[in-house]
Each structure stands twice: as C-alpha cells, then as structure tokens.
A = this chain, B = another copy of it.
Amino acid sequence: MPTSTIAHTAASDGQVRRSRRKEARPGELLDAALDLFVEKGFAATRVEEVAQRAGVSKGTLFLYFPSKEDLFKAVVRENISGRFAEWNEEFDRFKGSTQEMLRYCLFSWWERIGSTKASGIPKLMMSEAQNFPELTEFYQHEVIQPGTSLIERLLRRGVTSGEFRPMDLKYGVVLVMAPMLFLAMWRHSLGSCCASHLELDPKQYLNAQLDMLLHGFSAQNSPITALQENQFQ
C-alpha cells in the first residue's frame, strides 16, 4: 500500500508534510514500469497498473511521460543506455590485459544489468520488436549500437595487442554478446519456470563462457578452466 503516506501529518515540527495527494516522483513510476514491463511485456502492461503500483493516478503518469512508449524509453534509458558512458570511461582507464578486460566486461554487465530487473528488457525487446517498430529503432540506437561498439572496441584492443587472433569483428561481437543475452532471456523465461536440471548459476555460466571464449573446448588448450570445476564464484 504505497498510499500509506496519506494524511501523515507531521505534528512535531509544525509543518504539514504529507497530505491526501501523493507526491509523485518519476522514479517510482520508472521502477513500477520496469517491474511490470519485465513481468508482462510491453503490450500486456496496462499504464493504469503502473500508476497504481507507483501509488499515483493514471493522470499523473501521463503528466510525467507523454505516452506509454515514452515511459518505456525512459525505463530503458534509466536502466541500460545510461550505463554506457560509465562503461566507456572504465574501458578508457583499464590497465590490465584484454583477457582481464573481457572478464571485467562480462562480470560488470552481470552486476549492473544481468542480475537486476533490467535484464528482463532484452527479452521483452526480443518478444515485442516486431510489433513496435519505433521502440525497436530506439533500442537499436540506444542499446544495441553502444553495446556492440563497446565490445568491438574491446576485441580490437585484444587483436591489436596480439592477445586475440585476428577476427571478423562483427561475428566476434556477437559471440561475446549472445551468451549474455541468452542468460538474461533464459532467466526470464524457461529458466525461471521450472526447477529445471538446467538451472544455471549465473557466475559459473559466465565463467564457462569466458573460458570458452578464450580457449574453446579443445584439449590442447590450457587445461584448468571453469568448465572443469566450480572454483570461480
């Protein structure tokens, strides 16, 4: 009951703090919207429910976001696009090897997006892309392109330094991105539904991915890896 703030008159300091009207902050709306979009998808989420969950009226929502699509865009910006600036800066300052950088990339993605509610957004986009072309274009520009640029940059660094083999960067980028996206989608769909024998421990999954990105399955490659044991957490 977010409306519990109603009529909470602060008698002590002489000031009336809260009244019948809920003071809306866009933040609460964005949180509520993220929850519902991830849970139900874009189309199936009713704006009224978003408003209710944020403890305000439908009208108030439209006061802050001119349309449902704009609300969604704001959610994406708040939870995903906004992160790329910081990431790029971190990459600028990164001192270690590119292998370490790749590891950092996967694990910071996990901490900032993968393990949060925001990880539901990629799944959502996959599901609804066809039906909302404008949102899709937005997502392309705000998420896909910055994300691929970031990874491309990383791979280029590795190739330049001689750590990585020369490669077609386009497919290299997808090789790095796909497992992250897959993990996000898996957790929000099949992985979450059934106590499956395939319930993945995310960090172990990412370690396995990382290990394979670097060394592959082949036996002649370096032998001690996440694929063998759960030694990395």
**What 1/0 mask marks residues of chain A from 162 to 189 whose CB sits below 8 Å from any chain B CB?**
1111111011111100110111011011
| Known A-B contacts A44-B43, A178-B182, A182-B181; A197 and B170 likewise in contact (beta carbons under 8 Å) | yes
- The complex places the Cα of A193 from the Cα of B138 at a distance, in Å, of 11
Contact A130 B39 (CB under 8 A): yes
- The complex places the Cα of A155 from the Cα of B219 at a distance, in Å, of 12
Q: Which of A63-71, A74-82, A221-229 forms contacts with chain B?
A: A221-229
| Chain A residues bordering chain B, tally (CB within 8 A) | 76
User: Does any Cβ of B come within 8 Å of A85's Cβ?
Assistant: no
User: Does any Cβ of B come within 8 Å of A204's Cβ?
Assistant: yes
**What 1/0 mask marks residues of chain A from 190 to 222 whose CB sits below 8 Å from any chain B CB?**
101110111010001100110111111111011
A interface with B by C-beta (< 8 Å): 39-41, 43-44, 99, 123, 125-131, 133, 136-137, 139-140, 144-145, 148, 155, 158, 162-168, 170-175, 178-179, 181-183, 185-186, 188-190, 192-194, 196-198, 200, 204-205, 208-209, 211-219, 221-223, 225-230
